């Protein structure tokens, strides 16, 4: 209710389950959680650990990317080559309306720090 910026996200699991999330705002803005993180937290808390794709939709007429915090959380739980669909308001699969943008985790967060980095050998 604070930003009036609506965002929805949907994670697809390998077995076809769709886990949805929405941004949940808070009057102390730091307590706000984005739709992408809501979907991931719901999925992980319910036992899902593998994902096929993520779609992010806003009420803006152009594709918008997840914020930096969401990109890092997505990186933690999703493969670098997983498709991310950035869906603008008014998108219609039949081809009318705005175009969606398909990208990947790696394209959104190049040179990322992920779980495997914690296993790298250390000096000293």
In 3-state terms, what secondary structure has residue 70? helix
Question: Catalytic one among 36, 76, 102, 107?
Answer: 36
41 is known to lie in a ligand binding site: no
70 is known to lie in a ligand binding site: yes
Please give the helix or strand (H or E) that residue 36 lies within, else none. Answer: helix 35-45
Of the candidates 98, 39, 43, 47, the residue with the CA atom closest to the CA atom of residue 70:
39
74 close to 108: Cβ distance less than 8 angstroms: yes
34 is known to lie in a ligand binding site: yes
2 is known to lie in a ligand binding site: no
78 is known to lie in a ligand binding site: no
- In the annotation, is 119 catalytic? no
Q: Which residues are catalytic?
A: 36
Output the known binding site for substrate.
23-29
Output the known binding site for Zn(2+).
34, 67, 70
Output the known binding site.
23-29, 34, 67, 70
């Amino acid at each position: 209710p604070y930003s009036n910026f609506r965002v929805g996200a949907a994670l697809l699991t390998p077995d076809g389950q769709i886990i949805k999330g929405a941004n949940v705002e808070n009057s102390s803005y730091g307590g706000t959680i984005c739709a992408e993180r809501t979907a991931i937290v719901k999925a992980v808390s319910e036992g899902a650990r593998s994902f096929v794709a993520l779609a992010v939709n806003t009420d803006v007429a152009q594709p918008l990317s997840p914020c930096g915090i969401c990109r890092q959380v997505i990186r933690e739980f999703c493969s670098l080559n997983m498709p991310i669909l950035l869906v603008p308001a008014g998108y219609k699969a039949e081809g009318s309306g705005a175009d969606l943008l398909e990208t990947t985790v790696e394209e959104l967060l190049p040179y990322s720090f992920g779980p495997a980095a914690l296993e790298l050998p250390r000096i000293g």
